Amino acid sequence: MTSKKVTELYNTVLQRSVQFSGKTAISGRLLQYELICKPVASVYPVCFCGTTAPLSMQRLTQRPIHRSIQQENPIVIFDSGVGGLSIYQEVKRRLPGIEVIYCADNEAFPYGPKPEAEVIDRTLYCLSQLAEQYQPSLAIIACNTASTISLPRARQTLQIPVVGVVPAIKPAGEWSKKRSIGLLATPGTIAREYTHQLIRDFARDCDVISVGSSELVEMAERHLREQPVSHEEYKTVVEPFFANGKQPDCIVLGCTHFPLLEQQLQAACPAPIHWINSGEAIARRVEFLLDTVPDSRTPTSDRFIYTGSPDGIHALMPALESMGFQEVHELEQGS
């Protein structure tokens, strides 16, 4: 980014942003994060009223946004909640020098039960806002529901490559020795014709045991916020895979929330399972599509952006800090 563009961006931030610096003690350390409130016309009002610790306006900060020279534009990872953080982790593992803007559409969470038209509209709206504000080089729709429904429209609308995620049925069909595969996804993904076609194309000779669970999505959201989830809850989710003497040798995690719970799911299974998800393949695809790959030693300032109320954000801070996020704030929403 040229110095002129940096100056323009800096001035825009000063004119349109009021930054409140909130602090909270986490594991004996002081984690500083930001909730940025911007006066824009929006049909999605936000109330800044954290539940765990009240946010206070301490001082007006004026700080420019820095980008690394090697990577002028970040990439965007978008999901309805925290599930896409499993994709974020794989991308950062493969490309640690890449700068990431992660957006969780908490306001519209969850996408699974919503009508397809609503999911498309919401996905395109958020991606368009992110593209306008951050000029990303690439976007990942890190939500199976949104990808299978919205990906064609997103690619038509945005002027950048858009990567989607789909259930990893193809690698499961290639891996399975017993020709018995489990598919764990949301009920909507299980029922969608797109998924049925994947099974016909890549696992036709396999016994595919499909289990739909909306509860597991909520369990992943609770887990990342360090809220209790019992072993029995996990056991209830995986039991159908082993009913009537069935024994798959691999299970596809067909929702990006689910890899966040892989260890807990394995502990609830009566036998060892090979778990397959699309995270690593997505990271390879991102590396292929980028014109240049930032040096792994390049410092990054990854941001976690959310929509809706910040009430549930404070509980996420320990997990976000451990993953390397430097800033947390609300998505500026236009008309």
Catalytic residues: 143, 255
- What is the distance between the alpha carbons of residues 75 and 72, in angstroms, rounded to a whole number? 10
C-alpha distance from residue 144 to each of 35, 133, 288 (Å) = 28, 24, 21
Q: Is 24 annotated as a binding residue?
A: no
For 63-143, where are the alpha helices, taking DSSP H only? 85-94, 116-134
| Residue the block writes with tokens 């911007």 | 38
Q: Is 79 annotated as a binding residue?
A: yes
Q: Is 245 annotated as a binding residue?
A: no
Residue 20 near residue 57, CB atoms below 8 Å: yes
Q: Is 196 annotated as a binding residue?
A: no
Q: Is 102 annotated as a binding residue?
A: no
Instruction: Please name every residue paired with 196 in a beta bridge, in sequence order, or none if there are none.
Output: none
Q: Is 144 annotated as a binding residue?
A: yes
Residue 184 near residue 156, CB atoms below 8 Å: no
Q: Is 205 annotated as a binding residue?
A: no
Residue 19 near residue 34, CB atoms below 8 Å: yes
Quick check: helix, strand or coil at residue 273? coil
| Residue the block writes with tokens 């890899």 | 259
The pairing of beta strand 250-253 with beta strand 274-276 = parallel
Q: Is 257 annotated as a binding residue?
A: yes
- What is the distance between the alpha carbons of residues 209 and 213, in angstroms, rounded to a whole number? 13
The pairing of beta strand 180-185 with beta strand 207-212 = parallel
Which positions make up the binding site for substrate? 79-80, 111-112, 144-145, 256-257
Which positions make up the binding site? 79-80, 111-112, 144-145, 256-257
